Amino acid sequence: MQFCDDPKIDPKEAAILQAAFVAFARYGLRRTSMADIAEGAGMSRPALYRHYANKEDIFNALVRMHFQRSERDVAQVLAGDGPPAETLLAAMQAVDGTAVEAMLNSPHADEILSADQPFSQSEVQEAHDRITGHFAAWIARGVAAGRLSLAGLDATPAEIAATLMAAKFGIKAQAKDFADYRAAQARLAAIWARALGS
């Protein structure tokens, strides 16, 4: 599965990140070595160390890249005005991008998904907040257009968006595998669409 396909990224950097993505999914965070990543990227370990201090540094970079891509893709999905359940589901899947399927199908999914440190990076937190803001803006636009309603919810679009994002990450943490996660996402989108129905 291709993770690093941005043509604006330096090819060596892209090779490192792609090799790391594959190695982390295959071996898990603890068992992956810098040698594994260097080999996958087609370079020596000393050359790899010129780009990254350690594998945690690389994993942090992968998480940052994932959230940057997610933010762009979510904004694009929510710019449309399709049926609410379909739009919500597509937007939740855009948050995931291509990475979540590989991670959830990895035998090391629990270890990878329990890694909290990369998600505490300020860039990642800010991207997460902006993604939540895109959901809030979509809800507000839907209410203004009469396609959505906040009746009976006793919450603002921002509060609803924050709850939706929390629920999305909660079902990912509980999913047995990728298929289970996708099914739960579809249920979540349908529930929220029904709750927001005008």
Domain boundaries, the chain: 63-195
User: How much of the chain exceeds pLDDT 70, in percent?
Assistant: 93
pLDDT for position 123: 85
Residue 191 neighbours by CB under 8 Å, 6+ apart: none
CA angle 157, 163, 167 (to 5 degrees): 145
pLDDT for position 51: 95
pLDDT for position 91: 97
**Pairwise CA distance, residues 98 & 121, whole Å:** 21
Amino acid present at 81: D
**Pairwise CA distance, residues 103 & 22, whole Å:** 10
Provide the 3-class DSSP secondary structure of residue 123.
helix
Does the structure show a pLDDT above 70 at 5?
Answer: no
Q: Which CATH number fits domain 63-195: 1.10.3470, 1.10.3120, 1.10.357, 2.40.30?
A: 1.10.357
Q: Model confidence over 89-140: pLDDT tens digits?
A: 999 999 998 888 888 888 887 777 776 666 677 888 899 999 999 999 999 9
